[in-house]
Amino acid sequence: MEQFFTQLTNGLAVGGIYALIALGYTMVYGVLKLINFAHGDLFTIGAYLGLTLLTSLALTDHIGGLAGVLLLAVMAMGLVGIIGILLDRAAYKPLRTSPRLSAVVSALGASIVLSNTVMLVYGPSTRVYPQGLLPSQVFYIFGLPVPVMRFVILAASIVLMIGLYVFIQRTKIGTAIRAAAIDQDAARLMGINVDRVIMLVFFIGPALGGAAGVMVGLYYGQITFTMGWTYGLKAFTAAILGGIGNIPGAMVGGLLLGVIEALGATYISMAWKDAIAFFVLILILIVRPTGLLGERVAEKI
Amino acid sequence: MLEVKNLHVSYGNVQVLHGIELSVDQGEIVTLLGANGAGKSTTLNTICGLVRPTDGEIRFDGEAIHKLPAFKIVSRKITQAPEGRRIFGTLTVQENLDLGAFTSRNQHRVKKSLEWILELFPRLAERRDQLAGTLSGGEQQMLAIGRALMSNPRLLLLDEPSLGLAPVLVRQIFKTIRQINEAGVTVVLVEQNARVALKLANRGYVMEVGHIVMADSAPALLENPDVVQAYLGAGDL
């Protein structure tokens, strides 16, 4: 029972991270019908920028652990968001009217460029996040232990997701984003600047991915320049699981995938952890290709 | 009010408009008639900025608008209810209407527009919280027109509002178009249903493969033997 509970909370924490990354895939797909394969690398950049800010600014020394970490996470999000906009400008915007396959190839190229840039700047070896920034205590729910860190990670991702959901559902700009995702020309006829909407989506998605990068650094303590590939694929799976293009779907898909993976690794085999995640992807594509919450059939790539 | 001069439009290598000339005066209802592929929708989409002309110009109140992006045309008080309605199906009726007022800053004005639109189309009032995609075809057309009216336009472009609707609904929609026009909105109407359109309009243009081949007052076009033979036929509505 204790093991189950431990893995459940662990799965939820990792799932929250998957969900945040998945939101970036799903939002870009929603508006542009493009899978941004470089998104995983933006997540990696978030983790590295978080590390740089953490070590160089020493914010946590001045304003305390939790506040410092929060502030620097926000800064990393902003920076990754800006990189996201630049990525769109450089790799996707020139191809907006080209066949979709061109943009996909460009995305794969951008992914290689970004991950190699990270390697050149930070070096190919694993980097370690400073420890002890967040409280390492354990608290108990019904007598079962939950590390505070795990709780903080899950809470942070849920707060970000709720914030995004409210923004998309309740604000005028959010409604404009949804309209542009449905029909770009009709959105233009409403007076919506669709280019601006795309820019915003390329800010928000990568910013959330960047936050996830910082969380992984804090949670696992170490980061590598190739980690965007695995996390990207997992989050992509989560986005498909929930229904690509569907924002609540990405949230549900991420959390679910995290839990399935954690429980599968415990009760089936640790070595099969990744295989279990991708088995879920294959299963969902066969049984329900629109995803759990998706109404639209995902078109090719 | 609206002047279209020597308008040329191409999609890739295919030229679809070959020097369109038309004008619309304040308060009029002007209809564009023609077969499928004559370039009627392209003309409207070029006025709205969705399509860029290769040559020629479009002036609205003297201002050249053919170089403006589509989203800026709306604030010049020109809106379109496009062909096929193009409503946002997974948003609610209310959200669709709100988007129609996306560029409007004056909340008081928006509220008045909304009240007027719900008066014109009481069915929309009943279905405000419903997803737009669940509306019937006629209701979706009402929503498309209502949405286009939310920003309080001076010029309303309607592309095939009768498409796929039962005759009783067509009559209702056309009655409403007259009401909208009487409230001071100038209307450009593209229609397949030429007889109904000409009965409603003040003037009409007939288009054939990217050219305007006839321009006259609506009553004159209704009696023109060429128009009767090509577009009116017998036993129409």
Q: Kindly determine whether residue B86 and residue A295, on different chains, have CB atoms separated by under 8 Å.
A: no
B contacts of A179 (beta carbons < 8 Å): 88, 91, 99
Q: Which residue of B has its CA nearest to A186?
A: B86
Which ipTM value was assigned to this complex? 0.93
- The stretch A157-185 carries a mean pLDDT of 96
Residues in chain A within 8 Å Cβ distance of B95: 175, 178
Q: What is the pLDDT of residues B190-200, one digit of tens each?
A: 998 889 999 99
Cβ atoms of residues A261 and A11 within 8 Å: yes
User: Is A141 part of any domain?
Assistant: no
pLDDT at residue A62, as a whole number: 66
What pTM was estimated for this model as a whole?
0.92
pLDDT digits (tens, 9 = 90+) for A262-288: 999 999 988 999 999 999 999 999 999
CB distance B98–A175 less than 8 Å?
Answer: yes
Residue A132 domain-assigned (yes or no): no
Please say if the pLDDT value at position B111 is more than 80: yes
Tell me the pLDDT band of A299, cut-offs 50, 70 and 90.
very low
- Among B142, B146, B149, B143, which Cα is nearest to B77's? B149
CA-closest candidate to residue B81, choices B177, B9, B7: B177
Query: A133 in a domain, yes or no?
Result: no
Measured CA to CA, the distance from residue A218 to residue A136 in angstroms comes to 11
Domain B2-77+153-232 has CATH 3.40.50.300: yes
CA distances from A185 to A35, B45, B48 (A): 21, 10, 10
Bridge partners (DSSP) listed for residue B78: B155
- Structurally, chain A folds into a number of domains equal to 1
- Rounded to the nearest angstrom, the minimum Cα separation between B37 and chain A is 20
The range of the structural domain enclosing residue A263 comes to 2-123+148-287
Residue B164 has pLDDT above 90, yes or no: no
Instruction: Choose the closest CB to B82 out of A189, A193, A295.
Output: A189
A53-83 pLDDT, tens digit per residue, is: 988 876 666 666 678 888 889 999 999 999 9
Do the chains contact at A189 and B48, CB–CB below 8 Å? yes
Please check whether residue A85 is in contact with residue A202, taking contact to mean a CB–CB distance below 8 angstroms.
yes
- Give the integer Cα–Cα distance in Å for A220 and B144: 52
A295 pLDDT higher than 90: no
A188–chain B Cβ distance below 8 A for any pair: yes
Check: CB of residue A249 under 8 Å from CB of residue A243: yes
Q: Which residues of B touch A182 (CB under 8 A)?
A: 88-91
CB B60, CB B76: distance < 8 Å: yes
What digits encode the pLDDT tens for the residues B46-66?
999 999 999 999 999 999 999
Residue A294 lies in a domain: no
CB contact under 8 A, A186 and B148: no
HSE, side-chain direction, 13 A CA sphere, residue A219: 23
What residue segments make up the domains of chain B, in order of their start?
2-77+153-232, 88-151
Alpha carbon distance A64, B80 (integer Å): 56
- Out of A175, A189, A193, name the one closest to residue B95 (CB): A175
Shortest alpha-carbon distance between residue B150 and chain A (Å): 9
Residue B233: pLDDT band with limits 50, 70, 90: low
Query: CB–CB of A22/A40 below 8 Å?
Result: no
Which is more confident, A2 or A39? A39
Give the chain A residue whose CA is nearest to the CA of B95.
A175
Residues 35-94, chain B: which have Cβ within 8 Å of A?
Answer: 48-50, 69-72, 74-75, 79-80, 82, 86-91
Q: Quick one: what percent of chain A has pLDDT higher than 70?
A: 95
**Over residues A180-186, mean pLDDT:** 95
* Residues contacting A269, CB < 8 A, separation 6+: none
Cβ–Cβ < 8 Å for A230, A14: no
Residue A154 to residues A67, A136, A231, B83: CA-CA distances in angstroms? 17, 15, 17, 47
The domain that contains A247 carries what CATH number?
1.10.3470
Q: Which of A220, A202, A224 is nearest to A48 (CA)?
A: A224
Share of chain A above pLDDT 90, in %: 76
Of A175, A182, A191, the CB nearest to B103: A191
Q: Which residues pair with B81 in a beta bridge?
A: B158
Phi, psi at B210, each rounded to 5°:
85, 5
Interface test with B, best of A170, A189, A193 (most B CBs within 10 A): A189
**Which of A209, A237, A233 lies closest to A298, judged by CA?**
A237
